[in-house]
A and B are shown apart, each in its own frame.
Chain A
């Protein structure tokens, strides 16, 4: 069992629990390779997916994880929500709770919203991304993918590249990786790296080539095209020239590093298509590990006893 009832974020999350989730997730990875990819682990458990912000892959990943575990699921999205009709966040939460549910998976554009939700309901709350704050399940699947590739986490060197300021993926990765003994270096335009972030125990280096030379793996974040209009990124070609993970750039380095991307990718902006499709990239492994990780999280928070017992 995990020490915390909810999974709101990885800040202060115990390392043994992260390890336990990852170990369990590897067990579920085997399930996903079976012809019948379904286990009865969460039969009779009801989960509501509360999506106050658009999502494709995270939502599909969670829904698949829930179905593989035989849970009953209900989906709620902001477009169909009564919030549009003026109902308060609190009333929406308590109404859903009144229908007797066991867990909620929530995405919300405002940092802290999942924490807020725990104050109104008794069900387990899993954060599927709250604004620019945290995206803990993404970080766990990233760590699982690193573990799969390198056989360990402790002592690895991981670069995170891109718009750190607006990235919940970056923040959760930083918390999780530091907890697991991974050395982290952030890279990106200086105006998109928060000035106080070094306090979290990370390095900052604006020179992507130096980071490539240093790192075992590089997590390449999406550069949102919306940012281009805000005067934060001058142009696509400038971004590519300074930070783009192009084939030419990687070819300049003798060593081969692992390339990760949380998706969705802007091919030709932060990453070249040829890099994304190369053997160096583990981007599609991350997607598969996402389902396994979310199965593990749901299982451990919503009724699982221990990973060893279930999968023996």
Chain B
């Protein structure tokens, strides 16, 4: 991948422009002046402008990922804001929200400010999510008000479920002060126990301890009820099971404030793929059955799930090159995201319109966080992804820009490729 400064005047010509905010698709050009949108559609060609031919390509908004782990501060050997930014650009992402389970966690206004300042040097927009409880210990709420003032866009103890229902209630109640989402990693720790993969016939075959789907769905149900009672904004991350989908679908009929995300890997893989014992497929929550995967695809199609988020979770080789029980949970996901979801949602299985898939990666996540979502207005700093939505490509390690390489997609043929990403005055070409 090559990253360069944007030319003063840049024309993206002959592209198919998909404006996911205004739901318009049309042929035309995009003119960027000093890194900002200067015109979209019929553009009077400025003299001396640099041109990029986008024939056969789609020009759309840069993607927004509500759920990444960039490991800074503390585990810079796995990822940093800078290396994570490169992975994001490779995947078409111009804006991400980083989870606070760092070392130390992002649980004070000072640590939120640290991320905000460091993010200024990065080529993408990085927003910190603050911890819900101090040290992610599950006992005392953090200074959410001050953290919000410093730029925290949501609150989560991601990686660690908020086990105590009363604590979750307090957090939701308190969050209404700021009116930002609370994101709870829903897994009942007692039910999960030592489970390392979905509990089912495959875990039985493999002799691996199982993590049942109801470990997730019962806590999702609890959270949905608490959200309804408190009037707070609940965002359910990485939904993995059919049962959770059912609860969310039901609650959404009476509570419009609930939102949910799904990861590409829960849409792409099922637990049969764990038969390889590939530790890169060891994630939390686990990859579940084909039936669950189908339910997730349906949930994306009918709007029960609002957006796609990668849960990009880099780990060192040592963390993953070990036995299944000892391996860390998580996989990287930014670089492979579009090819994976475009393949299953648009091309192979669900026949979802490309425009709709793009909304799941752009407008919808931005709306959840209250970010500007009408990105083709004149004067807006350019956040653009240039896509080849029909291109088949085999994912390999050269496509990885993350500092870590824990991906299960190596050798997989994906459909839909991010060609270029424009963000914060830079253009990245794959």
CB < 8 Å neighbour of A231 from B139, B143, B146: B139
> A238 contacts the other chain (Cβ, under 8 Å)?
yes
- Min C-beta distance of B105 to chain A, whole Å: 14
Contact A190 B173 (CB under 8 A): yes
Report Cα–Cα, A154/B197, bound state, in Å: 66
Interface assignment of B145: CB less than 8 Å from any CB of chain A: yes
Give the number of residues in A that approach B within 8 Å (Cβ atoms): 13
Residues of A within 8 A of B141 (CB): 191, 231-232, 234
CA distance A150 to B229 in the complex (A): 39
Known: A195-B229, A231-B170. A238 touches B176 (CB 8 A): no
Residue B90 CB within 8 A of the other chain: no
Q: Are B145 and A241 in contact (CB-based, < 8 A)?
A: yes
A234 contacts B230, CB within 8 Å? no
- How many residues of B are in contact with the other chain, CB < 8 A? 20
For A185-214 the 0/1 string (1 means CB < 8 A from B) is 000011100010000000000100000000
Q: Does A235 contact B (CB under 8 A)?
A: yes
Is B144 on the interface with A (CB-CB < 8 A)? Answer: yes
A231–B141 alpha-carbon span in the complex (Å): 6
Cα distance A241–B143 when bound, in Å? 10
Q: Does B167 contact A (CB under 8 A)?
A: yes
Cα–Cα, bound, A159→B248 (Å): 38
| Complex CA–CA separation, A206 to B229 (angstroms) | 17
A32: Cβ under 8 A from any B Cβ: no
State whether the Cβ of A242 lies closer than 8 Å to any Cβ in chain B.
yes
Q: Which of A206, A231, A237, A242 has the most CB of B within 10 A?
A: A231
Our pick among B142, B167, B173, B229 for the contact of A234 (Cβ within 8 Å) is B142
Residue numbers in B under 8 Å from A232 (CB-CB): 141, 170
Find out whether the CB atom of B170 lies under 8 angstroms from the CB atom of A206: no
**B325 contacts the other chain (CB 8 A):** no
Contact status A234-B140, CB under 8 Å: yes
Q: Which residues of chain B are near A242, meaning CB under 8 Å? A: 145, 177
Given contact pairs A234-B141, A238-B146, A195 touches B170 in the complex (Cβ within 8 A): no
CB within 8 Å of A: which of B132-160?
133-134, 139-146, 149
- Majority DSSP secondary structure for residues of B touching A: helix
What residues of chain A lie closer than 8 Å to B142, measured between beta carbons?
Answer: 234
How far is it, in angstroms, between the C-alpha of A242 and the C-alpha of B144 when the chains are bound? 10
Q: Give residues 164-216 of B contacting A (CB, 8 Å).
A: 167, 169-170, 173-174, 176-177
Pair A206/B145 contact, Cβ less than 8 Å: no
Task: Give the shortest distance, in Å, between B239 (CB) and chain A (any CB).
Answer: 27
Chain B residues, Cβ within 8 Å of A195: 229-230
What sequence of 0s and 1s flags, for each residue 231-261 of chain A, a beta carbon within 8 Å of any chain B beta carbon?
A: 1101101100110000000000000000000
Q: Name which residue of chain B comes closest to A242, CB basis.
A: B145
Task: Give residues of chain B (329-358) contacting chain A, Cβ–Cβ below 8 Å.
Answer: none
- CB-defined interface of B116-144 with A at 8 Å, one 1/0 digit per residue? 00000000000000000110000111111
A191 touches B170 (CB 8 A): yes
CB atoms of A206 and B177 under 8 A apart: yes
A186 to chain B, nearest CB (A): 14
Closest to A188 in B: B177
Residues of chain A with a CB closer than 8 A to B146's CB: 237-238, 241
B140 touches A231 (CB 8 A): yes
A241 to B149, CA, bound (A): 10
A206→B140 CA distance, assembly (Å): 20
Known: A191-B170, A195-B229, A195-B230. A235 touches B176 (CB 8 A): no
- On whether the beta carbons of B174 and A237 are closer than 8 Å, the reply is no
| Contact flag A189-B140 (CB < 8 Å), given A195-B230, A237-B146 | no
CB B176 to nearest CB in A, in angstroms, measures 5
Closest to A206 in B: B177
The contact string, 1 if C-beta is below 8 Å from chain B, for chain A 34-52, is: 0000000000000000000
Shortest beta-carbon distance from A120 to chain B in Å: 36
Which chain A residues lie closer than 8 Å to B149 at the CB level? 241
Please report the C-alpha to C-alpha distance between residue A235 and residue B142 in the assembled complex, in whole angstroms. 8
B residues near A231, Cβ cutoff 8 Å? 133, 139-141, 167, 170
Q: Which residues of chain B are within 8 angstroms of A241 by Cβ–Cβ distance?
A: 145-146, 149
Q: Which of B146, B170, B174 has the most CB of A within 10 A?
A: B174
Q: In the complex, which residues of chain B have a beta carbon less than 8 angstroms from the beta carbon of A190?
A: 173-174, 176-177, 230
Q: Are A238 and B145 in contact (CB under 8 A)?
A: yes
CB distance from B41 to the nearest CB of A (A): 42
Which of A191, A235, A237, A238 makes the CB contact (< 8 A) with B173? A191
A191 contact set on B, CB distance < 8 A: 141, 169-170, 173-174
Ordered by A's residue number, 5 sampled pairs between the chains whose C-beta atoms are within 8 Å are: A191-B141, A191-B174, A237-B146, A238-B143, A241-B146
Give A residues with C-beta under 8 Å from B: 189-191, 195, 206, 231-232, 234-235, 237-238, 241-242
4 additional contacts, CB 8 Å, given A206-B177, A232-B170, A237-B143? A234-B142, A234-B143, A238-B146, A241-B145
What is the interface of chain B, defined by CB distance below 8 A to chain A? 133-134, 139-146, 149, 167, 169-170, 173-174, 176-177, 229-230
Q: Which 9 A-B pairs have the closest CB atoms?
A: A231-B140, A191-B173, A238-B143, A234-B143, A190-B173, A242-B145, A191-B170, A190-B176, A191-B174
